[in-house]
Structure 1
């Protein structure tokens, strides 16, 4: 009998019709978009920001909302920012608006285009080309489209924390974003809660006007129902290990789906999942995350690595036993912890400290554990 493919998506954005428990977030951002709010979406990586944005875009198309998503990860310069914006408009502009958008950009005579090489070609011909006129043209494009065609545009600036490293970029973005609120909304998406500090410190953009949304972990009840139903539909009984699976995933969207996928591969059709199946799935998961975990640890200072280990093993960076066992001075822990929070590696919740990625935490305990 041919094995049924795993029904668990874990290696990319989730199809819009298979999202789990994000209805309220979609509705909130949609409402704020209609109000012209400046919005901030904050979540660790792999929490589903991209999937959520795609869901909003899919539903927005039905009511005439244009959604332009710009990937700003590691944007390096104003010229790079121009290329990211140009690429996003080329990819996401609806067919009916492409002729109008092309005419607007051509009239600006800034070397940008959504139909050809555009600014990359201009830079190739003249490496000293000033990117600011092109940036102004692209940032003004949604407002000019609204003047000619009506409707509302949502500009999503994903991985917005990268913009803070480009001198002058934020200032230029706000210069255009502020007057456009009647027809254009902005959603700034990223991993750092403080990525909007420059805007919220501005008197023209007080923090009260910023709508902030943080994506939480997925509720256990929702995950339990979805995972159990998918295993049942595939003629597999997972009831005996479902609690263990949910505990290992800790509500982390991608990690829970990865574990469910690996468990699916361990359990043959027509059989019941056992503890051995779950243990094997977790072992495979730790093997898969090993290169990433080592890269994460290598990118931290000695003090930061010790704090990460302390949280993974002892549940707090300030536990006396952790400080003593890991040779971690308390002052070092106090300085390192905020950096790990800002990097979305650890979090301080109502239930205490924890490593955001449960597989990274388990990997640390497995490879460097100091507790019995």
Structure 2
């Protein structure tokens, strides 16, 4: 895909965040743990993958665990263990290889030797081990492996706020009890539900209070977007008629990373279909409409999820048309609950007293057209 969509992007397609990536890399390399929170589809995982790529190149052990994909305490433990051991074996699912010894011995002799060496140096959890003991092993493993091999390790925990829903809120206390004594491991915690993540790391009653430095994810400067978009189109022999056209793309998407890429993608295919080689305002407008259609199921799912609660759709409509959220006819407490839910779901964010903005401007347009 010329403009990458739907997942972590390659290093060359991360726009305007090189200084931030360098800062993250430095902090994690020096042993500081960091928390980043922000809505889905704004590039958190792409940033994390690029940091891990750079650190791995420098000789660090690295690991990545996505809690969104986990379904139980045991699956969390398996993901941590596999992610750690991959640094030694090069196998994504080392545990399966260990537990299926016959298959392991029948495969690569080199890998079999690596696994044998691992087993001798750190031991392996048994398949029949109970979930609590299994998790204890997993949480100790990053530090144990780093110590054995004389390395530093950096672990990324994506959608970290989901851990409590999967394994119960006590898992945060258990994790903290292990992590606080680790000297060779740094953690990068990512989360899409900003208010939950802020509560976890800034709330005095929560286990991870002040465990990690909380960093805001910087907005991508408009000029960086414009330069990137122009370069990508020029690489395909497409002439960009003016800076105004580039600025129009960025402003229509509100600088939202995935939505900006989507409009560019639709513009590219519109040009191909029309057999045109010039990016014009007319093409951008067509691309915007096509991008909105593509996003319809995404927006419908978002609205279905939050719209079951009282007054949520009404609050969204008021915000979209620029009305005040609080009106005399509604109970202020009910309005506040709706606003809090929308903030927690990263659909809106506070700009000032009683003022909120849509995180994704294209969702605002969708609401204006359909509600």
TM-score of the aligned structures, taking structure 1 as reference length? 0.82
Aligned: 1:309 with 2:314 = no
Q: Structure 1 residues 172, 191: closer, same or farther in 2, change over 3 A?
A: same
Q: Which whole-Å CA distance do the structure 1 matches of 2:118 and 2:252 have between them?
A: 50
**Alignment match of 1:284 (pick from 270, 284, 290):** 290
2:237 maps to what in 1?
235
Unaligned runs of 5+ in 2: 91-110
1:12 maps to what in 2?
7
Q: Which whole-Å CA distance do the structure 1 matches of 2:331 and 2:208 have between them?
A: 40
Q: Structure 1 residues 206, 11: closer, same or farther in 2, change over 3 A?
A: closer
- Matched residue of 2:59: which SS? coil
Offset, 1:316: 5.6
Aligned: 1:220 with 2:242 = no
Do the aligned partners of 1:315 and 1:354 also contact (CA within 8 Å) in 2? no
**Alignment match of 1:38 (pick from 26, 33, 39):** 33
Q: Structure 1 residues 226, 346: closer, same or farther in 2, change over 3 A?
A: same
Q: Which whole-Å CA distance do the structure 1 matches of 2:339 and 2:286 have between them?
A: 33
Q: Structure 1 residues 42, 315: closer, same or farther in 2, change over 3 A?
A: farther
Unaligned runs of 5+ in 1: 1-5, 112-118, 123-128
Do the aligned partners of 1:285 and 1:359 also contact (CA within 8 Å) in 2? no
Aligned: 1:348 with 2:350 = yes
Do the aligned partners of 1:104 and 1:141 also contact (CA within 8 Å) in 2? no
Q: Which whole-Å CA distance do the structure 2 matches of 1:68 and 1:150 have between them?
A: 16
1:28 maps to what in 2?
23
Do the aligned partners of 1:306 and 1:328 also contact (CA within 8 Å) in 2? no
Offset, 1:256: 0.4
2:363 maps to what in 1?
360
Do the aligned partners of 1:224 and 1:246 also contact (CA within 8 Å) in 2? yes
Q: Which whole-Å CA distance do the structure 2 matches of 1:173 and 1:19 have between them?
A: 31
2:266 maps to what in 1?
262
Instruction: Please list the CA deviations of residues 31-70 of structure 1 after superposition, one character each: whole Å capped at 9, or x if unmatched.
Output: 2213322311112111111111111111111211111000
Offset, 1:144: 1.2
Q: Structure 1 residues 59, 94: closer, same or farther in 2, change over 3 A?
A: farther
Q: Structure 1 residues 252, 198: closer, same or farther in 2, change over 3 A?
A: closer
2:302 maps to what in 1?
296
Do the aligned partners of 2:172 and 2:207 also contact (CA within 8 Å) in 1? no
Aligned: 1:85 with 2:80 = yes
Q: How does 1:39-188 map to 2 (within 5 A)?
A: 39-73=34-68, 75-89=70-84, 95=90, 99=115, 102-103=118-119, 107-108=123-124, 110-111=125-126, 119=127, 122=128, 130-165=130-165, 166-167=167-168, 168-180=170-182, 182-188=183-189
Instruction: Please list the CA deviations of residues 44-98 of structure 1 after superposition, one character each: whole Å capped at 9, or x if unmatched.
Output: 1111111111111111112111110001016443223223323434556564996
Q: Which whole-Å CA distance do the structure 2 matches of 1:141 and 1:212 have between them?
A: 25
TM-score of the aligned structures, taking structure 2 as reference length? 0.82
Q: Structure 1 residues 19, 342: closer, same or farther in 2, change over 3 A?
A: same
Q: Which whole-Å CA distance do the structure 2 matches of 1:218 and 1:133 have between them?
A: 44
Q: Structure 1 residues 179, 297: closer, same or farther in 2, change over 3 A?
A: same
